[in-house]
Amino acid sequence: MEKKKILILCITIASILLAGCTITKNHRETISAEEKNLITVGFAQIGAESDWRIANTESMKEALSVENGFRLLISDAQQKQQNQTKAVRDFISQEVDVIVIAPVTEDGWDTVLEEAKDAGIPVIVVDRMINVKDDSLYTCWVGSDFEKEGRAAADWLVKYMEARGEGSDHHQIAILKGTIGSTAEIGRTKGFNEAIKKYQNYEIVSEQLGDFIQTKGKKAMEFCLQKNPDIDVVIAQNDNMAFGAIEAIEEIGKKPGKDIAIVSFDAVKAAFEAMIEGKLNVSIECNPLHGPRVAEIAKKIMSGESVDKLQYVEEGIYPSETAAKELPNRKY
């Protein structure tokens, strides 16, 4: 009798365990089926070196969400291209549907993109451009016209000085440059330099590296001021370096935005706050909200549609007098 009870108990336990296994298996099959309907995107991001970059990442997360039909994998390269290359290879091994790259620099992409092409994985490049021998290695690029931004900065500066009655004065310019070899650095430098050289009274007296980072921007500005204390214009190739420059200028007892005009790029919220305080004169917009465009492109690619090779985002110019009105409208 006792043996019979034990046997019944064992059968009951075994049934429960089997039922549990069946439920788990069915649950896994359900998850797998759901995941198969999602577009898996691997995003090789540069890092989180600036407010702009953080906004760019958040835009990707919002647009490439499960609710929108995506599964997003993000790799933070911490501003090192070798980390990005490794991330792309990891995405290839995971057989993602689409790879998105925000490249640290333009060069050095041929080999790993050939690997992606051999694996049949389309690549979308965002923000900074890449330089490859065969442009079929990537499907399309989404970003800003950086040369246009540079020209816009020069044109605005000349008009601003004319409005102040200083249009014919001799102006000494310091340029705080972003990561060397990045598309933003290359384009903004070229655009600004070519536009400003038309005016003989504007002289670039110093160009220092700031890597788009606030602390490095401050050190670069300190060096510029030590070498040439008569600088009256700063071109900071992003807002965060401009914030560093503001700190350095204030520490020597000068007033940023007044004694030294500061022209910046990106137009993040903090830049509008600095303009309202009178410490920043203008910020040329570089729109980081690439997520919706990337999501649209990814869906088109997966459905077999063709997409334009180059896709520019819309951007504006925001001088200090518009800052108070525009700040509530900023999304980043």
Q: For 146-181, what is each residue's pLDDT tens digit?
A: 999 999 999 999 999 999 999 999 999 999 999 999
* pLDDT, tens digit (0-9, with 9 covering 90-100), for 39-72: 999 999 999 989 999 999 999 999 999 999 999 9
Q: From residue 217, how far is each of 50, 73, 209, 211 by CA, in Å? A: 12, 31, 8, 8
Q: From residue 327, how far is each of 270, 274, 276, 283, 319 by CA, in Å? A: 9, 11, 9, 12, 12
- Once rounded to an integer, what is the mean pLDDT over residues 74-79? 94
Query: Boundaries of CATH 3.40.50.2300 in the chain?
Result: 39-144+288-314, 146-286
Q: How confident is the model at residue 37 (pLDDT cuts 50, 70, 90)?
A: confident
- The reply to whether CATH 3.40.50.2300 applies to domain 39-144+288-314 is yes
Whether the per-residue pLDDT at 31 is higher than 90: the answer is no
Q: For residues 329 and 272, which has the higher predicted lDDT (pLDDT)? A: 272
Q: How confident is the model at residue 34 (pLDDT cuts 50, 70, 90)?
A: low
Whether the per-residue pLDDT at 13 is higher than 70: the answer is no
Classify residue 85 as exposed, middle or buried by CB count within 10 Å of its CB (0-12, 13-18, 19+): buried
Three-state secondary structure readout of the chain: CHHHHHHHHHHHHHHHHHHHHHHHHHHHHHHHHHHHCCEEEEEEECCCCCHHHHHHHHHHHHHCCCCCCEEEEEEECCCCHHHHHHHHHHHHHCCCCEEEECCCCCCCCHHHHHHHHHCCCCEEEECCCCCCCCHHHCCEEEECCHHHHHHHHHHHHHHHHHHCCCCCCCEEEEEEECCCCCHHHHHHHHHHHHHHCCCCCEEEEEEEECCCCHHHHHHHHHHHHHHCCCCCEEEECCHHHHHHHHHHHHHCCCCECCCEEEEEEECCHHHHHHHHCCCCCEEEECCCCCHHHHHHHHHHHHCCCCCCCEEECCCCEEEHHHHHHHHHHCCC
* pLDDT, tens digit (0-9, with 9 covering 90-100), for 171-215: 999 999 999 999 999 999 999 999 999 999 999 999 999 999 999
Q: How confident is the model at residue 235 (pLDDT cuts 50, 70, 90)?
A: very high
Q: How confident is the model at residue 331 (pLDDT cuts 50, 70, 90)?
A: confident
CATH classification code of 146-286: 3.40.50.2300
Number of C-alpha atoms within 13 angstroms, CB side, residue 290? 27
Whether the per-residue pLDDT at 300 is higher than 80: the answer is yes
Q: Please state whether the predicted TM-score (pTM) of the whole model is above 0.95.
A: no
Whether the per-residue pLDDT at 22 is higher than 90: the answer is no
In this predicted structure, what is the pLDDT of residue 149? 97
Mean per-residue pLDDT of the chain: 91
When mean pLDDT is compared across 31-45, 149-163, 234-248, 296-310, the lowest value belongs to 31-45
Kindly report the backbone phi and psi dihedral angles of residue 279, in degrees, each rounded to the nearest multiple of 5, phi listed first: -100, -10
Whether the per-residue pLDDT at 145 is higher than 60: the answer is yes
Among 104, 164, 160, residue whose Cα is nearest residue 284: 160
Q: How confident is the model at residue 28 (pLDDT cuts 50, 70, 90)?
A: very low
